[in-house]
Structure 1
Amino acid sequence: MTHALIFPILLPLFTGALLLLAHRMPLAAKRGLSVLAAALLVPLAAWLVVLASDGELRLYALGNWQPPFGIILLLDRLSAMLLLLTAVLASLSLLYACRGDDERGPNFHALYQFQLLGINGAFLTGDLFNLFVFFEILLISSYALLLHGHGQRRVRSGIHYVVLNLLGSALFLIGVSLLYGVLGTLNMADLALRVAEMDEALAPLVAAAGYLLLVVFALKAAILPLHFWLPRAYAAATAPVAALFAIMTKVGLYAILRVFWLIYGSEAGPLANMVADWLWPLALVTLLAGVLGALASRNLQTTLGYLVIVSVGTLLAGLAFGSEAGLSAALYYLLHTTLVSGGLFLLADLVARQRGNVGG
């Protein structure tokens, strides 16, 4: 099943498009279609985990254009695991949304599917430009999902979230353009080879592009000092949206792992492991900021937002070790912290509903 790699992208893409085209269909039909599509992602992702379990890298060249010229999807054990994690979290959060949260605004289910499209694409792509494209898809969907249900608090938090991520997108595009202008490719594997063999005179430009990408990924992952948008945004979102957002910081960490272990890794010549010395202090201050914020919070949802930052700091600390043991521990922690964080957002919403204190 060589085409199995494209299904986690096509399924939410076509489902979201159908939901938009048939936006006048009854809500029950929208719910059924959206839940079915999300549920189908679970066995599909499980099958991809089985395929990837042999340790081989699997490539899917869209349009049969081979690397480094075509759009490449790449499946390994890490991306397969994250696809399965996303599918499980998304399907359960969507079921919770069907109890009434999806009625607060139009096109909730279409936006939810496009969010899944962006997340799945980011985990599968083997190309930096297409990573940018999938980042934009998931961010645009998240803007609308964050504002879903309206309310002054959501709008205020949403504006901060949108402005910061638009700035991040601009920096991402500049960094990608700089790499392409210097090295002539954006395929990650090809970039790793060209960085290792490049003229040392080009190193400052390639390093500048790498630091720009680090800032962008740190913003997506909510690493200090670029973390301040997350608690308010997650607290303002509806519970199923906040639960799905629990995987979004992991997309930023995944991008750091892919780019700075592959392109700027130990084989990168003068730029070898260039961000390694930054990761450990960033992890510690992010952990500290998350803990202090959680202790100072007066709102349960805000507390959970800061606990997401704590999990980001913990995961970054595992990556900072730069060893197989540290990476294994971080990935093991990533699985359960994402599910627990998503479940806690849903539980907090149940507590708030029973107390009669649900923010609009």
Structure 2
Amino acid sequence: MTALIAAPLLLPAFAATAALLFRRRRRLIGAGISIFATALLLLADIALIMQAMRGEIIAYDLGGWPAPYGIVLVLDRLAALMLVLTAVLALAVIVHAVLTGLDRKGWHFHPLFHFQLLGVNGAFLTGDLFNLFVFFEVLLIASYGLLLHGQGARRLTAGVQYVVVNLVGSIIFLIALGLLYGVTGTLNMADVLVRGADLPAGDQGLFRAAGLLLLVVFGLKAALLPLHLWLPRAYAGAAPAVAALFAIMTKVGAYAIVRTGPLVIGVQAGDYVLPAALATMLLGFAGMLAARGLRSMAAFALIGSTATLLAAVALFEPGALAAGLYYLPHTTLSAALLFLLTDLVIRWRCVEGDAMVPTPTYSGRVGLGALFLAAGVALAGLPPLSGFIGKLLILDAALTSSWAVAIWALVLGTSFIAVIALSRAGSTLFWKQDSTPATAGRGEPAPLWESAPSLFLVAALVALTVGAGPITAYMEATSRQVFDTNAYVHAVLGSEVED
């Protein structure tokens, strides 16, 4: 059963290769392979999370080389949670891309899609900082291609900015790894914790500097202020379904902060992350209010909701982290849902662009409005969906913090701003009507099957709400496990570490 840990890496790698063989001919076979592999990945990840629920941290040494000398994959509750979340999101996106024909707008969508999953899953499983860098590069290279999929001047402009910013991030990452290896002689996260504690006083400054550089890189990936500038243009410029998949990429940055905080950077990192998260939260939801296009509104919603998650994470306290972990799948799925609905609005109303303006009535408008209402309720954190529960847990966990007043004020205030922004968008798109006569295209029946992936995400949000009790218990156990660094070190290094 231990070898199953490699499945989230092997399945996307094989699926990308197989899909590449059918990229020009028999595209339906390539699409079928892609969907089947993603569904199989979800089943494998469910098996892994059931294994992680036993509470044991499992280390898998690739090639039989033990840590810290070899490549090690580490499965715990947190990694398993992120794997399942990625697979759920990926399944909805790949089905949406096939149903809407997005995958047919370029030759390499399916291989790039699975290489993206390979990079994301590898980042969640690796126990080594250098391999974290490698998997970051894999997912970034794949994301470059996906961002440009479908072509267009807008995507090319956004893609160039995206590439430049992330290349700078990669350079900073390498500098941080060089410093860390220079003072500790290792990049295995468990080994870094052990050796970092025994460093002489003269090396402690370099060690802390390396940790802060890593924090800059992860803050860039999570789009924290002032490192967020790349995200709105990139996500608004990408195809909406691609942007929906990219919703997990900001969580890779958040995951890296959670994972390396207790092990490498130190929990004092929260002193820097928390004020940046609160400022980003305000900026993100204010951007929603100022947005004039659906894609931009969804991009800023992702920024704001991710910042809400990071505000909880930055407290670096088990109760707050558990609250943030419950909110993590909610913010990912709800933001992805808004991107998919944006694509449906653009397609079904047969109007060029994504401007939030009244249009003549069209087939499927009522159903689409209902889905948009569900997405709005989820993103704003209103009852009865899981966003309300997640924000309530975050507010409760923040009561003991010295930042409690600021956190409460911003979480509640930005929720109100989100309600205004989403209400304005919904009323404009689905309530008001343009008096212009409907075109022939608008009179055609909407392909309702295209909404199936969006309904799947709504169902996932409902399940997150209905199962709030056991899911919260899982998140609390996950939080305790994250802070139990001794258990992590023993699982990875084994007998080489003494209590």
* Corresponding residue of 1:97: 97
* Identity percentage of aligned residues: 54
Cα RMSD, aligned residues only: 1.2
1:218 partner letter: G
Does the 8 A contact of 2:306 with 2:331 survive in 1? Answer: no
SS at match of 2:59: strand
Give CA-to-partner distance per residue, 1:285-324, whole Å, 9 cap, x none. Answer: 1101101111111001100100111112101110122211
Matched, 1:180 2:174: no
1:318 aligned onto 2:312: yes
- Contact 2:193–2:263 (CA under 8 A) maintained in structure 1: yes
Equivalent residues of 1:223, 1:286 under 8 A apart: yes
Q: Secondary structure at 1:59's aligned position in 2?
A: strand
Match of 2:210 in 1: 209
TM-score (norm 2): 0.69
Residue by residue over 1:232-276, the C-alpha shift from the partner in whole angstroms, topping out at 9 and shown as x without a partner, is 1111111221111011000001001111221233xxxxxxx3322
Structure 1 residue corresponding to 2:283, chosen from 283, 286, 289: 289
Q: How does 1:1-360 map to 2 (within 5 A)?
A: 1-99=1-99, 100-265=101-266, 273-359=267-353
Tell me how far apart the structure 2 counterparts of residues 41 and 323 of structure 1 sit (CA, whole Å). Answer: 32
Deviation per residue, 1:169-214 (Å, 9 max, x gap): 1111111111112110000000011111111100111111111111
Measure the CA separation in 2 of the matches of 1:294 and 1:359. 18
Please, what TM-score do these two structures have when normalized by structure 1?
Answer: 0.96
Q: Secondary structure in 2 aligned to 1:204?
A: helix
Measure the CA separation in 2 of the matches of 1:282 and 1:39: 37
1:328 aligned counterpart, secondary structure: helix
Deviation at 1:24, TM superposition (A): 3.3
Would you say the 8 A contact 2:24–2:107 is kept in 1?
Answer: no
Write the distance in 1 (CA, Å) between the matches of 2:39 and 2:12.
11
Offset, 1:50: 0.4
Mapped contact 2:18–2:30 kept (Cα < 8 A):
no
CA contact (8 A) 2:18 2:33 kept: no
Residue deviations 1:98-151 (CA, integer Å, cap 9, x gap): 020111111100000000000000000000000000000000000000000000
Which ranges in structure 2 are unaligned for 5 or more consecutive residues?
Answer: 355-499
Residues 5 and 75 of structure 1 are in contact (CA less than 8 Å); yes or no, is this contact kept in structure 2? yes
Secondary structure in 2 matching 1:274: helix
Flag as ranges the 4+ runs of structure 1 deviating above 3 A.
21-25, 357-360
Distance 2:347 2:180 in 1: 50
1:21 Cα deviation (Å)? Answer: 4.1
How far did residue 22 of structure 1 move? 4.4
Deviations 1:5-27 (A, max 9, x none): 00100000111122234433311
2: distance between equivalents of 1:113 and 1:187? 26
In structure 2, the residue matched to 1:269 is: none
* Worse overlay, 117-126 or 199-208: 199-208
Q: Report the residue type matching 1:12 in the other structure.
A: P
Secondary structure at the counterpart of residue 185 of structure 1: coil
In the TM superposition, residue 358 of structure 1 has moved relative to its aligned partner by 4.8
Aligned partner of 1:268 in structure 2 is none
Does the 8 Å CA contact 1:171/1:212 hold for their aligned counterparts?
yes
Amino acid at match of 1:117: L
Distance 2:246 2:177 in 1: 25
Amino acid at match of 1:332: Y
> Secondary structure in 1 aligned to 2:268?
coil
8 Å Cα contact 2:241-2:343 kept in structure 1:
no
Letter in structure 1 aligned against 2:336: G
Paired residue secondary structure (1:69): coil
Indicate how the Cα distance of structure 1 residues 357 and 167 shifts in structure 2: closer, same or farther if over 3 A, else same.
farther
Mind listing any 5+ residue stretches in structure 1 that lack a counterpart? 266-272
Aligned residues: 353
Checking the alignment, whether the CA contact within 8 Å between 1:220 and 1:249 is kept in structure 2 is yes
Query: For residues 286 and 338 of structure 2, what CA distance do their matches in structure 1 show?
Result: 19
8 Å Cα contact 2:211/2:264 also seen in 1: no
Once residues 351 and 103 of structure 2 are traced to their aligned partners in structure 1, the CA distance between those partners, rounded to angstroms, is: 19
The structure with more radius of gyration: 2
Do the aligned residues in 1 keep the contact of 2:9 with 2:121 (CA within 8 Å)?
A: yes
Amino acid corresponding to residue 332 of structure 2 in structure 1 = T
Return the letter of the residue paired with 2:24. Answer: R
Q: Which amino acid aligns with 1:82?
A: M
Whole-angstrom CA distance in 2 between matches of 1:304 and 1:281: 23
How far the C-alpha of 1:359 sits from its partner, in A, is: 4.7
